[in-house]
Structure 1
């Protein structure tokens, strides 16, 4: 366990963190994972999908419909994750269906999952420090397992599974560019950092050895990359996304 956690802590990229996690979960019988993390949740939505980190080893045909086609909005366990924290057995979905508490759209999600061999699993909704952030993961079990088998696995190994999944979430959610739609260039990052430090355009031009017009150009491109209207919004969003005030490839902070 400690060896895996050490490797997880040392992994330098989201891709490596995710690969480690997929391999570890497969050891417990969970061979298909779907992770999502947003920092722009509202009371009525998860925000723009392009601002959401989505990681999965499900098939592309599954993801085309479930994620890109928007079916996840009607998935019972996604709705559960939006309003809960902790872990939940997918047995809850079966109980809701038998009690007639699922609507037509939710039942279609269940039928779709069955067609893709997704019959049993567990979901985890993580506790995040921001009211606008939400991270969750769905652990789909191997097709050979049924929900009873999964519940037995969780009874035996639930604590370590929670530790592995929570640590993975914390690593991914804190990584630079974790939710960046378009990563900022080094110049765009630097001008936003100086704005965040309270410097004017003229100040930044002097500090960076640029003309004020060039500084304004970098600020405009940063706003476009972050899909915001004002520079103040750009500083806030870049900070939330861990894009500024970070060390990139060993470069020191200004």
Structure 2
């Protein structure tokens, strides 16, 4: 088995989104990318990813857990974010420098570009994943190690770019098939169960009998689920929970027996 196939196998075999992310990060280091950032949304609007709390994000940039949202908020201000929102495929960060040289960046993009360079984020590549729905968007930003230049990364990409894209796409498809963690309070097991029964067309009375609780307690679970997901109706809660693969999920990530 080739090294690339071994890496793909490890990504596909990972049992949690965090494990998938760990495998991709390890696979990309030999190519010269020592920091990476991934973001995905199902609430895309014109030039926007929607509510940042509903963006699925993973990062190796931050030194502390929970910084994924902060890194994603910064990426949204960069020139490469504009490229991602208008294109699919891969692009060198050289594109941003070319836009800067032509005076085509917005003031916010210039400020983000300058801050990135001061922080040592000087060279890299970005992949914008092609999505089947108009409301969906996902991207992977790969930051070159300090000893790399954009010229060296571009030369490497000309030879190994297709392999990297396949690794990244494998990660993306795997993560999108798993229960996704977003920047909101998690549903409790009982809240999730109540939503699952609603999704199957059960009434509050039906659910109360099935779960062995009162109809009032069913309504409480559904109300708290709506609050967790920041929606107004139970139908919206079911839709959003399904969007994040939270319904009928295997909470342990263990394989079927």
TM-score, normalised by the number of residues in structure 1:
0.91
2:246 corresponds to: 243
CA contact (8 A) 1:118 1:140 kept: yes
Q: Cα 1:13–1:213, aligned 2, differ >3 Å: closer, same or farther? A: same
What whole-Å deviation, never above 9, does each CA across 1:115-172 have from its counterpart, x for those lacking one? Answer: 1111111100001232211110111111111111111110110111000011111112
Q: Cα 1:148–1:112, aligned 2, differ >3 Å: closer, same or farther? A: same
Distance 1:148 1:41 in 2: 33
Q: Cα 1:137–1:231, aligned 2, differ >3 Å: closer, same or farther? A: same
Q: Cα 1:179–1:132, aligned 2, differ >3 Å: closer, same or farther? A: farther
Q: Which runs of 5+ in 2 are unaligned?
A: none
Deviation at residue 48 of structure 1 after TM alignment: 1.2
Aligned pairs for 1:1-254 (under 5 A) are 1-60=4-63, 67=70, 70-179=73-182, 181-249=184-252
SS in 2 for 1:181: coil
TM-score, normalised by the number of residues in structure 2:
0.90
CA contact (8 A) 1:178 1:242 kept: no
Count the aligned residue pairs.
250
What whole-Å deviation, never above 9, does each CA across 1:183-212 have from its counterpart, x for those lacking one? Answer: 212211111111111111111111222111
Distance 2:18 2:81 in 1: 23
Q: Which runs of 5+ in 1 are unaligned?
A: none
Distance 2:122 2:17 in 1: 28
What whole-Å deviation, never above 9, does each CA across 1:33-85 have from its counterpart, x for those lacking one? Answer: 11111122122421111111221111359x97x93694433310011101110
